[in-house]
Amino acid sequence: MATGGTGGHIYPAVATAQELIRRGHSAAILGQRGGMEEGAAERAGLEFFGVEAGKLARSGQGRPDPRELLKAAGGVVQARRWLAGQRPGAVVGYGGFASLPGVLAAQSLGIPTVLHEQNAHLGLTQRLAAGRARAVATAYEEVIGLPAGKGRMVGMPVREERVERGEAFARLNAAGLALEPGRLTLLVMGGSQGSLALNEGVPPVLREILAGGTLHGEPAQVLHSTGPRWADSVAPSVADLPWYHVTGFVDAPSAWSAADLGITRAGTGTLAEAAFHGVPLLMVPLPESAENHQFHNAQAVEKAGAGRLVPQDTLSRDLGKRVLECGLSGTRSEMREAARRRSPQGAAARLADLVEQL
């Protein structure tokens, strides 16, 4: 599994690796040395091999930084050496700069490659590898920029682990939180790295809306996963609210299993996890996302009735109204059923099927 950079690229790789292992194969993660994929592989009990991986973000002149290209080239050499010794049956690339060395190295060695594209626009690293890939598995029926005949719709692989609500709270509290299972729980999560906009903008709104720790008279609480680098700056701002719980990192299956309503970005991975767990969302798309794909993702979820879109530039004005609207029991119930209808259950198995077939 060649992957890395963000949770949206890493967690589908972990889910697919685990599915392939259940079928009797062996699977490993190949990504950036020291990247978050290394920790994810360790937590999942998967073998990891790290290489250099240059970021292919474009400079002000519209061209990749040559120094980053050199890093990527070095990573290809390192990955090629490792793959030549391993001779895997296939390499699956999940997009993002950290996946590119493994995929290009595999193609140079004649090892079959399959790509998984999470978004409705084929990303830069995927475009570089798609021509020589056996197939491109997709999370959308149509993907802009995909060569004709390459696409295979499988959905977005997620970790298919649901936890009984009481057990979910027990796991979260064992990690140092003090949540109460009987309270309506709002999950604030800005992705694997956290979101500065959500970390700064959401607490003041919820302080006002959940005055006294209630929503429409129902006891409520907040579980806010800030990302590791932001916890120490967010926690003091809500230290006087006993119902507002801040953590840098949270076990995702437990958090989603405990949540009644989510306030998140609109990356495909986040939306897929929420749908799998049947959690309604208030989505604040990242304005800088490539081709504005998060905005379009959020629109699709809103159209399906499983969430509400809150533009980042109107967060302080509109989020409170959306929380009050979606916090009503009947509305939450309708949105929860709409979310479950969008569940990506079985996507990891469908991608594993494709890898085996090719």
Identify which has the larger pLDDT, 58 or 187: 187
Asked whether residue 182 carries a pLDDT value surpassing 90, the answer given is: yes
- Look up tokens 């995909």; give the residue: 146
CA-closest candidate to residue 47, choices 71, 9, 21, 23: 21
pLDDT of residue 66: 79
Residue 101 near residue 78 (C-beta atoms within 8 A): yes
Per-residue pLDDT at 90 exceeds 90: yes
Band of residue 60 on the pLDDT scale cut at 50, 70, 90: very low
First to last CA, the chain: 15
| Secondary structure class of 42 (helix, strand, coil) | helix
The most distant pair of C-alpha atoms in the chain lies apart, rounded to whole Å, by: 63
Alpha-carbon separation of residue 353 from 140, 303, 357 (angstroms): 18, 31, 6
Query: In the predicted model, what is the mean pLDDT of residues 95-117?
Result: 95
Burial classification of residue 299, based on how many CB atoms lie within 10 Å of its CB (0-12 exposed, 13-18 middle, 19 or more buried):
middle
Cα–Cα distance for residue pair 261/274, rounded to 1 Å: 9
Contact 13, 92 (CB under 8 A): yes
Question: Does residue 62 carry a pLDDT above 60?
Answer: no
Question: Residue range 303-328: average pLDDT?
Answer: 97
Percentage of the chain surpassing pLDDT 70? 97
Contact status, residue 93 vs residue 4, Cβ threshold 8 Å: no
Domain boundaries, the chain: 7-158+345-357, 165-342
Q: Cα separation of 165 and 7, whole Å?
A: 24
CB atoms within 10 A of CB 113: 24
Mean pLDDT of 41-61: 81
Location of structure tokens 């840098």: 248
Q: Which fold has domain 7-158+345-357?
A: Rossmann fold (3.40.50)
* pTM, to two decimals: 0.86
Mean pLDDT calculated for residue range 170-195: 94
Mean pLDDT of 110-134: 92
Is the Cα dihedral 336, 342, 346, 347 positive or negative? negative
Higher pLDDT: 314 or 123? It is 314
The per-residue pLDDT of the chain, averaged, comes to 93
DSSP per position, 215-233: ETTEEEEEEEE--TTTHHH
Q: Is 119 annotated as a binding residue?
A: yes
| pLDDT above 60 for 350 | yes
User: What's the confidence (pLDDT) of residue 61?
Assistant: 47
Q: How far apart are CA 298 and CA 312, in angstroms?
A: 12
Q: Tell me which of 88 and 300 has the higher pLDDT.
A: 88
Digit-coded pLDDT (tens) for 10-49: 999 999 999 999 999 999 999 999 999 999 999 999 999 9
Tell me which fold the domain 165-342 belongs to. Answer: Rossmann fold (3.40.50)
Taking residues 58-70, report their average pLDDT: 66
Q: What is d(CA 147, CA 347) in angstroms, rounded to the nearest whole number?
A: 22
- Is there a binding annotation on residue 297? no
Would the pLDDT of 192 be above 80? no
Q: How far apart are alpha carbons 75 and 72 in whole angstroms?
A: 5
Higher pLDDT, 97 or 92: 92
Write down the pLDDT at residue 65.
77
Of the candidates 288, 293, 290, the residue with the CA atom closest to the CA atom of residue 313: 288
Question: Which DSSP letter does residue 64 get?
Answer: B
Q: Is 62 annotated as a binding residue?
A: no
Question: Which comes out higher in pLDDT, residue 210 or 66?
Answer: 210
C-beta of residue 110 within 8 angstroms of C-beta of residue 23? no
Which DSSP symbol is given to 212?
G
pLDDT band of 56, cuts 50, 70, 90 = low
Q: Is 95 annotated as a binding residue?
A: no
If 0-12 CB within 10 Å is exposed, 13-18 middle and 19+ buried, where does residue 210 land? Answer: buried
For 68-77, 195-204, 220-229, 317-326, which range has the lowest pLDDT when averaged over its residues?
68-77
Residue-level pLDDT at 119? 85
> Within a 10 A sphere around the Cβ of 303, how many other Cβ atoms?
11
CA distance 179 to 165: 12
Please give the single-letter amino acid code of residue 173. Answer: N
Rounded to whole angstroms, how far apart are CA atoms 16 and 13? Answer: 5
For residue 173, say whether it is annotated as part of any ligand binding site. Answer: no
Same fold, 7-158+345-357 and 165-342: yes
Q: Is residue 6 a known part of a binding site?
A: yes
Query: Is 7 annotated for ligand binding?
Result: yes
